[in-house]
Structure 1
Amino acid sequence: MAARVPAYRQAQTSIKQYIEDHHLQPGDPLPSEGQLAKDMGMSRLSLREGVKTLEAVGILEARQGDGIYVKAFTFDSIFENLPYSFASDGQSLRDLLQVRTALEEGLVGMVVSQSSPEQIAELDGLAQQMVTKAQNGQTFEDEDREFHLTLYRPLNNPFLNRLVQLFWEVFRRLHGNAGVTHWNLEQTAQDHVAIVEAIRVGEGEQLTRAMHTHFRQIKERIGPQTPDSSSPAQKKD
């Protein structure tokens, strides 16, 4: 016998179907709670629970005293919870780095043609802050994160910015300060100086190479992948 679907899950499905059937757009209101419960043939309590869960994932927005509205979709709820799903053995961090490396190396060449003197000055300032901190033996995660966000700002891609932020959130939770003594702070800072210089001279290929060097250094800092002894490719006769 199939398990009975909880009432609040039925409410979620019905509400999403209602939004689709009525072609509601972000910012559009839904009917009143009473009317919606009547139309869907469910209790107000079940409907209320369904609304709460859809609020949690960013589909609906309940405005006190004003009703329920369709919310503009964002990746925020996904990104806020995704770091907790990563394993602590370092493999997830390496996997994420691989994706981020391909993404940033593939997009960074576009920055050259869209950069402005103001953006270059801001990037240069951040890079110099990194150099100063490195010379004093200090880490500079905040400046590094802000550097990458500023770097891709001309592309006007909020999703890309959120991916950069996600990397740092996961990195801090999984990596923390472990291995900082093995992190060549000055080399990392100089990687960013090289990126700024490539943008300043307008050399797309030089910029891509500079970014590749930067990520290679991060990969070396994280360390090599541990072979999976259970994998057939790793077993010996």
Structure 2
Amino acid sequence: MTAHRGPYDDRMTDRGPDRPSASRSQTDVVVEGVKAMIVDGELRPGDRLPVEKDLAARLGVSRGSLREGVRALATLGVLQTRQGDGTYVTSLDAAALLGPVGLFAELRGEEQAHDLLGVRRVLEAESAARAARLRTEEHLVELRAILAGVDDLLRSGEPLDAQAFIEADTRFHAVVARASGSPTLAALIDGLVGRTLRARLWRAITQQHANAETQREHRAVLAEIEAGEPERARVRMSVHVLGVEEYADAHDAEGYPPA
């Protein structure tokens, strides 16, 4: 029995070295080949790729196709080309690799905002539960400071600065996600924030007392995180995001104003 040498070694068959099948483009072969090298541990974060000629020969593709594949992987955040220094594997952190989630959210039609809010509700509830177990004192200090700033906005007596309010709301949810201890969860939530931004902004402007209610809900979430109550934090966050989701559902027919 012949030992397995990996899917992209120059294995010999009765047809000679393996070549890309007709059903796959050479660019696909490059993408899959480099991914396999990373998954197998042959390439690690920060490693430099083999020189172009050698890697193209190994994958059985032209050097032009290799460059196309490298560009595709760079767009996905997997590789980084440094002018005059070669191509390197990135840190492969969640924020970079899950960046396309944000693009997906932005490309969704406005009438589908409620769908993204539903997904966000599931993720945010989990992040709050995890934050109640894993938060540090630094996280708590940051969350308290954000809500104190919102209190100042609401007490100012001036017309509400909706943009400042929504930025504080975004920061609050981002810190809770970060406190969850899961970079993947935090990156997914961050990717969905952009799509729901206008719905939240419109809600804050048009619904009387919506901003004060949001602040109360945030404080309820924070209280459970401070108390170390994961399931209660999960419920509080789920109810909070559900309110925004229901508002988006109710106002689909009206559409959203430009942000």
Global fold match (TM > 0.5): yes
Deviation of 1:99 after TM superposition, in Å, equals 2.0
2:90 aligned to which of 58, 67, 71: 71
1:153 aligned to which of 166, 178, 196: 178
* Cα deviations by residue, 1:18-57 (Å, 9 ceiling, x for unpaired): 6567833323332211222334444322222221122111
**Cα 1:222/1:132, change in 2 over 3 Å:** farther
1:97 aligned to which of 111, 117, 122: 117
**Cα 1:106/1:30, change in 2 over 3 Å:** closer
* 1:175 maps to amino acid: A
* Cα deviations by residue, 1:43-88 (Å, 9 ceiling, x for unpaired): 3222222211221112322222222223343424423422233122
Return the alpha-carbon distance in structure 2 between the equivalents of residues 19 and 109 of structure 1.
33
The residue number in structure 2 matching 1:138 is 161
Q: Which runs of 5+ in 1 are unaligned?
A: 228-237
The residue number in structure 2 matching 1:193 is 219
Return the alpha-carbon distance in structure 1 between the equivalents of residues 68 and 25 of structure 2.
11
Deviation of 1:9 after TM superposition, in Å, equals 3.9
Deviation of 1:205 after TM superposition, in Å, equals 4.9
Deviation of 1:209 after TM superposition, in Å, equals 4.0
Q: Which runs of 5+ in 2 are unaligned?
A: 1-20, 254-259
> Which runs of 4 or more aligned residues in structure 1 lie more than 6 Å from their structure 2 counterparts after TM superposition?
none
Matched, 1:175 2:199: yes
* 2:182 maps to amino acid: N
Aligned residue pairs total 223
1:84 aligned to which of 102, 106, 118: 106
2:73 aligned to which of 54, 65, 89: 54
Tell me the TM-score normalized by structure 2: 0.70
Judge conservation of contact 2:128–2:221 (CA < 8 Å) in 1: no
2:126 aligned to which of 106, 111, 127: 106
Tell me the TM-score normalized by structure 1: 0.76
User: What fraction of aligned residue pairs are identical, expressed as a percent?
Assistant: 28
Q: Secondary structure at the match of 2:250?
A: coil
* 1:60 maps to amino acid: L
Q: Which structure exhibits the higher relative contact order, with contacts defined as CA atoms closer than 8 Å and separated by 6 or more residues?
A: 2
Deviation of 1:169 after TM superposition, in Å, equals 0.9
* 1:88 maps to amino acid: E
